[in-house]
Structure 1
């Protein structure tokens, strides 16, 4: 209480107001501790009234389409291969070609696993399949990275939109996927690990343990929603992404 009254006196002096004495401040604190009457019994109260519900899983296409309505589009993503992001961006790219959208510039930064280092996932279930598994992941990553690169580069060539793309590798396999939009939104999902069969270029099957994504369904957090939890999640997500980008990531494709 002594520490509190010191703070109150400083603030009161700053505001040119008389500071309450110790007794008055103590009474204010005690009144604040008295629970307010409620028409609901504790059993009738729902925790959802006091805390925002966890965002439901949404398709990334809607948030991405909204993000491209801005004049300056900025997308940062950490993903397993870029599959979901490539599919999600296809819609806005088509809208730009059709004249329904016209951003001034697009900036894209992507972090994905560096295939040149030993990764824990995907991993072979048979030792002799090790190199085949590495080649399969390299193929998948290049397909979606090149899809993103080609789709956005076409906007620069045909519409004169300023496009900046950077792709960097990280020395681990992401177990979460995160897409950050225009500084205000975060799309997030966990990746599950499961056994599955993949097919190589020759049509032969390879058994692997791999990360399985949510197929374009992610939880949506918006810093402008009014919820403190959403705002903090978006802020911390940017800090996390930038900490990886600026330290352990290595340069990949850029244009």
Structure 2
């Protein structure tokens, strides 16, 4: 890692040098977050510590942090530091003209938890990303940053029998190790998800928490998230052949669904649609 201080000869970086330095720092921090050096929910080192680490001025660090915050990687609060809220790139660059713009999962879940009554519905393969982001929001609730009265989560996942079509060994249909790895991941993440939310109720941070996890005999071709009944995030899974790491340190060539490469699209109810739903509800009550 370079430790050169741009502009040291004249006491400061030129705008061009500073911009390049900030971009490089932001890129390295993204990489560290992706690699798990800084995990979801963890505070980043202070700006002073990062400045010493990269050998640059605090101004360059601040520009890099602003980029990460704009992209939804971190959440910064005055006096509290910067906390990681996204551990992977789950959206792609700009959409073409006329198409819905891709967006990331973290900010939408963060916004959903600012409501008095939080409702999340999800259909996915492992619930890994959902668990990470809900964990960040659970920490916000425990710190008193948001105060929902109730949280309702409904999660639909593939059943274990019959086995989902993916992941599967690429060369040997009888090799069940990719399936066993997937099944263990699902149990781990759904357990974490349930425990984090129910702990909020036990700790009296939230009055009512309802978590339902159901299994269906299908292999999902897409991931779908619904937030408070007013917006949705949808993306198709990408099937690829890859070397899948196993718990014993070996690898197996497997056909796997890679959610990280999904293009996610955001859909939101318009004011007209909300008004129509309210109208229909009132008509039904009158009847």
C-alpha deviation, 1:217, in angstroms: 6.3
1:224, CA displacement in angstroms? Answer: 3.1
Partner of 1:198: 244
**One of 79, 90, 110 as aligned partner of 1:65:** 110
In 1, Cα distance between equivalents of 2:194 and 2:261: 20
CA distance in 1, matches of 2:107, 2:140: 13
Question: Which stretch shifts more, 87-96 or 167-176?
Answer: 87-96
Aligned partners of 1:68 and 1:216: how far apart in 2?
24
The alignment yields a C-alpha RMSD, in angstroms, of 2.2
User: Counterpart of 2:225?
Assistant: 179
Moved more, 107-116 or 129-138: 129-138
Contact 1:126 1:207 survives alignment (8 Å): yes
SS in 1 for 2:160: coil
**Is the Cα–Cα contact under 8 Å of residues 84 and 216 in structure 1 kept in the other structure?**
no
Structure 1: segments with no counterpart, 5+ residues:
1-51, 236-255
Q: 1:225 to 1:82 in 2, by over 3 A?
A: farther
**Tell me, what secondary structure is at the counterpart of 2:166?**
coil
Query: In the aligned structure 2, how far is the partner of 1:206 from the partner of 1:136?
Result: 11
- Given the superposition, is the C-alpha separation of residues 220 and 128 from structure 1 closer, same or farther in structure 2, using an over 3 Å criterion? closer
Size of the aligned set, in residue pairs, is 178
Deviation beyond 4 Å, 4+ runs, structure 1? none
Q: Is the 8 A contact 1:110 1:166 kept in 2?
A: yes
**1 or 2 for the larger relative contact order (CA 8 Å, sep ≥6)?**
1
- In structure 2, which of residues 191, 194, 199 is the aligned counterpart of residue 146 of structure 1? 191
Deviation at 1:112, TM superposition (A): 0.8
Counterparts of 2:203 and 2:188 in 1: how far apart (Å)? 22
> Which residue matches 1:243?
none
1:133 is aligned to 2:178: yes
| Distance of 1:126 and 1:105 partners within structure 2 | 48
Contact 2:168 2:176 (C-alpha < 8 Å) held by counterparts: no
- The residue aligned with 1:209 is 255
State the shift of 1:55 in Å: 2.2
1:110 paired with 2:155, answer yes
Q: Are the equivalent residues in 1 in contact too, given 2:119–2:229 (CA < 8 A)?
A: yes
1:214: Cα distance to partner?
3.1
Provide TM-score, normalisation by structure 2: 0.58
Larger radius of gyration: 1
Answer yes or no: is the 8 Å Cα contact 2:142–2:205 preserved in 1: no
Q: CA offsets, 1:114-163, max 9 Å, x none? A: 12313211111132762212211111111211121121111111125211
Counterpart-to-counterpart distance in 2, 1:215 and 1:156: 35
Cα separation, partners in 2 of 1:72 and 1:131, compared to 1, 3 Å: same
Matched-pair contact (CA < 8 Å) for 1:122–1:133: yes
In 2, the alpha carbon distance for the partners of 1:216 and 1:59 equals: 11
What TM-score results when the alignment is normalised by the length of structure 1?
A: 0.65
1:165 — aligned with what?
A: 211
